[in-house]
Amino acid sequence: MVSPCGGSGLTTVNLLAYRDPELFARLLRRIIPALEEQVQKLGRRVRIMEVCGTHTVSFSRTGVRQVLADFVELISGPGCPVCVTDQSDIDHMIAYAKRPGTVVATFGDMMQVPGSAASLRRQRAEGADVRVVYSPSQAVDLALENPQKQVVLLGVGFETTAPGVALSLKRAARDGVRNYFVYSVHKLTPPALKALVEDPDHRLDGFLLPGHVSAIIGRRGWTLLELLNQPAVIGGFEPLDLVVSVYRLVQEMKRPVRLVVNNYGRVVREDGNPAAQRLLEETFEAAPARWRGFGMLPQSGLEISETYRAFDARVALPVDRPVTKAVRGCRCGEVVKGKETPLQCRLFGTACTPERPLGPCMVSDEGTCSIYYQYERSHHRDRREEPHEDYALARGWRQPDA
Amino acid sequence: MRIMLSHGDGGSLTHELVAQVFRPVFGDELLEEQGDAAVVPSPSGHLAISTDSFVVQPLEFPGGDIGTLAVAGTVNDLAVSGAVPEYLSVAFVLEEGLEMALLRRIAASLARTAAAAGVRVVAGDTKVVERGKGDGIYVTTTGVGRVPEPGRLGFHRIQPGDHVVVSGGLAEHAVAVLCERAGIRFDPPLRSDCRPLNRMIQDLLAQFRGVRFLRDPTRGGVATTLKEVTLGTGLDIQIEEGRLPVRPEVGGALELLGMEPWYLANEGKVLIVVAPEEAGDVTAFLREYPGQELAAEIGRVSAGHGDLWLKTPYGGRRSLGMLSGAPLPRIC
Amino acid sequence: MCLAVPAKVLEVDPTRLRARVDYLGSQTVVGIALVGGVQTGQFVLVHVGEAVQVMDEEQARDGLALWREWLDDSEPAGLP
């Protein structure tokens, strides 16, 4: 989008320059031969998992996915928090909406996620008090404004989101807020990648690592990928970040010994954000967690620590364990592992649509199914309409072979 | 003072409410007659009638309130149909316990907006529902306008090669309301673009014969409205992301909320499909009007299969459907 | 997975650990408990109302400059 007003004078190199279409086009022209070379070597397209759902969205929204489609198959990974949340946890969270005297505070992302029986949106229509918040501190404000009620924040998200929730716990403890609780299903990303890499069936050539998780855990947070010699690049989310990250990842694939490359230096430090890490250690403890598609993964979840147990909804406000039913035919579990695309799911686009989602991958804006529905359904037809087999050639980025 | 159930029972309190709150601000001679129906002179020719209900939360937001919206919404629906709006009827459903002062403010802004649009409020109704059965105020407005040239605008007039123009910055209404709802405070607050456009549209139609189709891109935004056009005509439209006008501060808020401007509501903008030779002049013409400074050509119509395409600045293009589900601020 | 946006710090309130920031012309208040020592004029990355990292402007500029240089080089070479 353009800003014909000319900007406020505060815009900078940090953001807008990384969206420069002209520089993008030049970089792309330069990078395509390297991608082509790798495609020829492999005899197929390069398979890259973009771990982060926001990357998935960025690739589709900017059209970069399509621009690279002749060379790169992008596979969405377990980086959409509501998509990897196990069905029993989703049912549990929805159950709080039915608890008398309870206000459920949630990020907008959770509102439509279907539980076995209902979604939060449905519960709200039936009279439950469900509030969409933008930040965890708003949930503490809600608790202060409603002293006679119990406010439960649904703590969904990865390493980037958990520190904000940790701050809300500290504030509640400091100010003696006794009616604020968190149901934590926060998850840690590296254990899921470890599980993916160790799966003998995995068919990935490399990983584009989540930039904002890395802002917290640092490049050092990914050492396990180096131990496993996996090509991996930490990348940002602007168009230039995307295309350069893909290039650097392909370069890394060509090396015998791979290092985790930080291609998001303006945000990601070697050690991440130590203050945020200390805060997480103080308020949470790593624990086994159940992931959709993966099952139990050791030390992959964040439970509220002993010190803050009074704010742990699981402990302080137990609800009856709801009955969890799997949706028959839903392939979300395979989709979050990158083993199947939504197009392989029989429910996709017919029984399961963004208006009536059956699985969480169709609900979240960054869920793979939702993205395929919004952006990719037309892709094949689009390419058929363009009578050129080679997209780069068609766009004039590459000269035809003599 | 607050609204009580008996303010809606048709008795003395109802009369008091009308006398003290509504009549002073509307003050139309037809309303003063207090008949059961407004009797108005009829122009010869065609009439356009449009009705719309307004349930916005919060009731007041930066740049407007449910009163401005109730006028702008209906007046703009008439105007984009090629009608000259003349009369409005207004029905309020009030919730018991509503602050009288708030009702006065909203009634006043409704009256002010109607006066600015040159539209007379000639009929009205008020009902009160029990506490908890409403959200403070619901407003329904019905507008009547005369149509000088029936059939001048419509899907049937749109042709391949036509240009698509939008009259100003996108998403301003939605962002103002969503930020209020999400408790995100910006300073200065992002203001809704909510305003009646009938005078501008009348001038536009008087000056440019090449205008083929108009629609106000309210709920669902520019993308949903244009998708209706492509489905209605079987033609394709391609819009260019790089040409979509968005105020920088609105763009900043959208980044924060994780939303796309083309799916968000506008309440003071119009989409215009116009013959190519007049597109540039139409855009320049629109830019002279308040709130429309960012008017821009955003895309073109072509032969096709009823698809709406968004071309990104990076070489890709993607098909846009209608908005699915209500936009919510997200963290991911 | 985590939507985060860069914002420029306009004013720091060190006692309440909050700062007034600007996103492309929209100003609002965010928490700065996770980025101790952040100063007016710096850019922070904001997620769920909290600044999660101070952005390195030098890196941002250098990153772009390196790519430009790489493009301008007549001899193709790997990115540094």
How many other CB atoms are found less than 10 A from the CB of residue B311?
17
Report whether pLDDT(B317) > 90.
no
C36 and A54 within 8 Å at the Cβ level: the answer is no
Residues 35-54, chain C, touching A (beta carbon < 8 A):
35-36, 43, 45, 47-50, 52-53
Contact A395 B315 (CB under 8 A): yes
- Tokens coding A142: 């809600």
Q: What is the pLDDT of residues B179-193, one digit of tens each?
A: 888 888 888 899 999
pLDDT at A325: 84
Residues A193-218 have pLDDT tens digits of 999 999 887 789 999 999 999 999 99
Q: Can you tell me the distance from the alpha carbon of B140 to that of B154, in angstroms, rounded to the nearest whole number?
A: 26
Residue from the list A53, A138, A378 with its beta carbon closest to the beta carbon of B319: A378
Question: Measured at the alpha carbon of residue B7, what is the angle toward residues B1 and B13, in degrees to the nearest 5?
Answer: 90
Q: Please tell me which residue of chain B has the smallest CA distance to A6.
A: B248
Q: Give the relative orientation of helices A239-253 and A21-42 as an angle to the nearest 10 degrees.
A: 30
Q: How large is the average pLDDT for residues C61-68?
A: 87
pLDDT > 70: percent of chain A: 89
CB of C20 within 8 Å of a chain A CB? The answer is no
With CA atoms as reference, the chain A residue closest to C16 would be A171
C-chain CB neighbours of B259 within 8 Å are none
Which chain B residues are within 8 Å of C47, Cβ to Cβ? Answer: 331
For residue A95, the surrounding DSSP H or E stretch is helix A87-98
Is C52 in contact with A215 (Cβ distance < 8 A)? yes
A residues 293-312 lying closer than 8 A (beta carbon) to B: none
- For A289-306, the pLDDT digits (tens) are 999 888 999 999 999 999
A chain contacts of residue C80, beta-carbon cutoff 8 Å: none
Burial category of A377 from C-beta neighbours within 10 Å (exposed 0-12, middle 13-18, buried 19 and up): middle
Q: What is the distance between the alpha carbons of residues A234 and A188, in angstroms, rounded to a whole number? A: 16
In this predicted structure, the answer to whether residue C74 has a pLDDT above a threshold of 80 is: no
The answer to whether the CB atoms of C28 and B184 lie below 8 A apart is yes
pLDDT of the residue at A382: 38
Q: Which of B224, B254, B283, B332 best tests the A interface by mutation, with the highest count of A CBs <10 A?
A: B332
Which of the four pLDDT bands, split at 50, 70 and 90, describes residue C79?
low
Report d(CA C18, CA C5) in Å as an integer: 17
Domains in chain B with CATH codes: 5-147 (3.30.1330.10), 155-320 (3.90.650.10)
Residue A65 tokens, joined? 């996915």
Mean pLDDT, rounded, for B290-316: 95
Distance between terminal CA atoms of chain B?
44
Query: Which chain C residues are within 8 Å of B249, Cβ to Cβ?
Result: 23-26
C-alpha to C-alpha distance for C76 and C5, rounded to whole angstroms: 34
pLDDT tens-digit readout, B248-264: 899 988 988 888 999 99
Closest residue in A to C51 (Cα) is A164
Give how far B230 is from chain C: nearest CA, Å: 32
Chain C residues near residue B331 by CB distance under 8 angstroms: 2-3, 47-48
pTM beyond cutoff 0.80: yes
Mutate to test the interface with B, among C11, C24, C43, C44 (most CBs of B within 10 A): C24
Q: Are B138 and B55 in contact (CB under 8 A)?
A: yes
CB atoms C49 and A157 under 8 Å: no
* CB of A123 less than 8 A from some CB of B: no
pLDDT, residue B41, reads 86
Is the pLDDT at B330 greater than 90, yes or no?
no
- For residue A262, the surrounding DSSP H or E stretch is strand A260-262
Chain A residues with CB inside 8 Å of C48's CB?
Answer: 107, 134-136, 157, 161, 164
pLDDT grade, residue C76 (50/70/90)?
A: low
Interface predicted TM-score of the whole assembly (ipTM), two decimals: 0.92
CATH 3.40.50.11740 fits A82-188+273-316, yes or no: yes
Are A51 and C71 within 8 A, CB to CB? no
Task: Dump the DSSP string for B262-276.
Answer: GGS--SS--EEEE-H
**For the structural domain made of A17-79+201-213+226-262, what CATH number should be given?**
3.40.50.11750
Query: With an 8 Å Cβ cutoff, is B187 touching chain A?
Result: no
Cα–Cα nearest to B175, from B268, B65, B249, B269: B249
Higher pLDDT, A398 or A130: A130
Residues of A in contact with B313 (CB under 8 A): 19, 21, 24, 239
Least confident of A379-393, B222-236, B271-285, C33-47: A379-393
Do A17-79+201-213+226-262 and A82-188+273-316 have matching folds? yes
Per-residue pLDDT, A378? 56
SS3 B215: strand
For residue A13, pLDDT beyond 60: no
pLDDT score at A376? 66
pLDDT of residue A291: 93
What does the alpha-carbon distance between residue A231 and residue A271 come to, in Å, rounded to a whole number? 20
How far is C-alpha C38 from the geometric centre of its chain's CA atoms? Answer: 11
d(CA A181, CA A172): 9
Q: Which residues of A touch B258 (CB under 8 A)?
A: 365
> DSSP readout, B158-222?
--TT-EEEE-S-SSHHHHHHHHHHHT---SSPPPP-----HHHHHHHHHH-TTEEEEE---TTHH
pLDDT at C1 over 60: no
On the question of pLDDT at A364 being above 90, the answer is no
Residue B267 has φ and ψ, to the nearest 5°, of -125, 10
Between the CA of residue A293 and those of A34, A87, B165, B303, what are the distances in Å? 34, 10, 47, 44
Contact at CB, C3 and B330, closer than 8 angstroms: yes
pLDDT of residue B147 exceeding 60, the answer is yes
Q: Is C56 close to A137, i.e. CB distance below 8 A?
A: no
Q: Domain residues of chain A, as ranges?
A: 17-79+201-213+226-262, 82-188+273-316, 332-380
Domains of chain C, CATH where assigned: 5-72 (2.30.30.140)
Whether A35 shows a pLDDT value over 60: the answer reads yes
| pLDDT of B325 above 90 | no
Listed range (A31-45, A218-232, B10-24, B62-76) with the worst mean pLDDT: B10-24
| Dist CA B69 CA B61 (whole Å) | 11
Chain A residues in contact with B314 (beta carbon < 8 A): 21, 24-25, 62-64, 67, 239
Q: How far is B313 from chain A (nearest CA, A)?
A: 6
- Residues of chain A neighbouring C3 (CB-CB closer than 8 A): 54, 212
Which pLDDT band holds residue A15 (cuts at 50, 70, 90)?
Answer: low
Closest approach of chain B CAs to the CA of C9, in angstroms?
14
